[in-house]
Structures are given as structure tokens and as C-alpha cells.
Amino acid sequence: MPRGRPSGSKNKPKTTSLLVAQPVEPSMKLVIINVDRGKDIMQTILNVAHQGCVSLTVLSASGTVTSVTLCNSPNDGGGALMLHGPFTLLSINGSYFYNNNQYNLHSGATRSPPVSFGIHLSTSKGKILGGAIGGNVIAGDDVSITLSTFSHPEIYMYVPKDEEEDNDEKKQ
């Protein structure tokens, strides 16, 4: 009796399905904007978010500012404090969440304020000023802002491990 494969049989090629990567829109982008003299820097930043329907974080800022409106602390009676420069722009920090109600909020996390930015400036004599932005920030010369834009963020509450252990001990 013959052994092996029947005569005429051959190894038949197997069909393979190739996974072809589809181009994916990146969830984060780096954006550099130049703000024209006399324009509101904050309005320009918010325009980027609204035009692109994205959230953003300010990474860096440089240039000069001719005037800025800061928030007074509640202890000082609230209100706004308007300062006239020129000032050297040292930094703007903060994030803006576009359509803040649509994001995934994980347990314990609190929703961020829609607009909250801080600023640090220097006078011509080297005095450093800073605080929460409470209104217009008018651009002087050579204002450049670097932003990171992103879509679909998830908001988490961070609890350091030592605080978790303290909470566990209190429960027992």
C-alpha cells in the first residue's frame, strides 16, 4: 500500500489578510501662533480652540505686552486690575477645554473651569508681575505662543499612593 500524499496533491497557497494601517488623525498637535500688535492674546488663543473644535494647553509664550487685566484676589475685594506696559512676556500658563461637558470624567475627578490662565511679566526695571488673567492681554511686538491642541481628553483624579494608604487605614 502506498504511503504519503495522494498523487496530484500539492501544497496550496494560503490566503493571508494584510492589515493595512489607515491614516489616523493625531490626537495632539503642536501649533505656533504669532499675535499681531494690538490684538488680544487670549482671544487669539480661544479662536484657535473654537475654529479647530479642540482643547489646548499653552506650552510657551514670548514677546511684549502693552496692557494686561489681572484678577484681584477675593481678599482684595475682587474685581480686576488693569496694568499698562510695556512688559516682557515671560509665560502664559493654562488650558482650555473645548465643550467641557463632553469629556469623560472618571470617578473623583472634578470638572475644570472653562477658562483659567495665568501670566508672568517683567517690567523694564526687572520687576516680576504675575497672576490670573482677568480680561484682555494686548500684544506688543513679536508675540509668539506655542500651543498643544488635543481632542477627546479624559480627566482623572490623581491621588498619591501615600494618601491612598492613609485613606485605607482610616476605613479600617
pLDDT digits (tens, 9 = 90+) for 61-98: 999 999 999 887 655 556 778 899 899 999 999 988 88
In a domain, 136, yes or no: yes
Q: In angstroms, what CA-CA distances link 155 with 13, 107, 113, 163?
A: 50, 9, 13, 19
In a domain, 106, yes or no: no
Are 97 and 103 in contact by the 8 Å Cβ rule? The answer is: yes
pLDDT in tens, 118-140: 999 999 998 999 899 988 999 99
In a domain, 130, yes or no: yes
Q: What is the mean pLDDT of the chain?
A: 79
CATH code of the domain in which 135 resides:
3.30.1330.80
pLDDT of residue 52: 86
**Domain count across the chain:** 1
List the grid coordinates of 22.
Answer: 489607515
In a domain, 108, yes or no: no
Domain of residue 73: give its range.
28-97+114-151
In a domain, 4, yes or no: no
In a domain, 60, yes or no: yes
* Side-chain-facing half-sphere of 120: CA atoms under 13 Å: 9
Average pLDDT over residues 104-121: 66
Single pTM value for the model: 0.68
Are 42 and 117 in contact by the 8 Å Cβ rule? The answer is: yes
In a domain, 13, yes or no: no
Give the pLDDT band (50/70/90) at residue 162.
confident
pLDDT at 166 > cutoff 90: no
